[in-house]
Chain A
Amino acid sequence: MTGWKPPRALVVSWLGLIGLLTLTVAAAYQPLGAFNTVVAMTIALAKAVLIAAVFMDLWRGKALTLVFAGAGFFWLALMLWLAFADYMTRPDFPPQGGLFG
């Protein structure tokens, strides 16, 4: 029982996650204009992939598990994509009054 160590993949991921956290906080203070948001969201996504793949064990998950895990993000992507297709193109088709009127 004694001397039992955590699996190497978990330690590496944990260090990677803390490293990414440091990186994203440092990057937030750099004057990158619109790219600040891009960098912040890209690093958040990288952290999420690490957590899902290693901590949540998806990297050796069965195909069916991957489908179910991906389903939530698939519908989320659809929702964000369609909603933004609406909001981003509203200035091109001015409404009568309303939020952007």
Chain B
Amino acid sequence: MWVFLATEVLFFGGLILAYAVYRHAYPQGFAEAARHTSIAIGTCNTAVLLTSSFLVAWAVAAARARLGRIAAVLCWGAAALGVAFLVLKAIEYRTEYAEHLVPGLNLDLTAPNAAATSLFFSFYFAATGLHGIHVTIGIAALMVLGLRARAGRYSETYHSPMTVGALYWHFVDLVWVFLFALIYLPGRAP
């Protein structure tokens, strides 16, 4: 699993490198564009994912202690938080569509700062879109793990599926921590 996660680090790392290069080239423009994102939704979603990760880590401990029912509830709780994350993200996408911030769809290329705004929001949609797909896969995995934990399949000696599924979810959380810092925080200071 860690080998797979290493490939995932470089997968998202490539996107972050592209972001870093263009932010270096257009520092003012990126700060200006980042101010258009919703810090309220971004912060709330970060808290949601951090909490869901906590529940999953707790679920692993519960599964190892043969507390299958508790582990199941924790997995499903984390999955529900994952759904909440996606719903908030969808609301945010809708606002951005309404504000004409979607490159290639309705971004106004004649506006001042259009080049940097277009680059920033291209990164934004590519990175959060890919991350959203990861969240969706993670939710499905957590649902199945919850079912299996409830059936009492895991114990101190056999808990690999649970541990591996949890690693995946924590990784998705970890990626979001960096995306949050790169997308929502720049350009906020007066």
A residues at B contact (CB < 8 Å): 1, 4, 6-7, 10-11, 13-14, 17-18, 21, 24-25, 28-33, 36-37, 40-41, 43-44, 47-48, 51-52, 54-57, 65, 68-69, 71-73, 75-76, 79-80, 83-84, 87-88, 99-100
Contacts and interface: CB of A to CB of B under 8 A. Distances in A.
16 contacts: A17-B54, A25-B43, A28-B185, A28-B188, A33-B189, A51-B53, A51-B177, A52-B174, A55-B166, A55-B170, A55-B173, A68-B3, A69-B2, A76-B13, A79-B17, A80-B17
A18 to B, nearest CB: 6
A7 B58 contact: yes
Nearest to B179: A44
Given A25-B185, A48-B177, A10 B61 contact: yes
A99 B58 CA distance: 49
A88 B23 CA distance: 12
Contact of B8 (A17, A57, A72): A72
Q: Which size class do B's interface residues fall under?
A: 35 or more
Which 5 residue pairs spanning A and B have beta carbons closest together? A72-B6, A72-B9, A68-B2, A14-B54, A44-B181
Given A13-B54, A65-B2, A79 B10 contact: yes
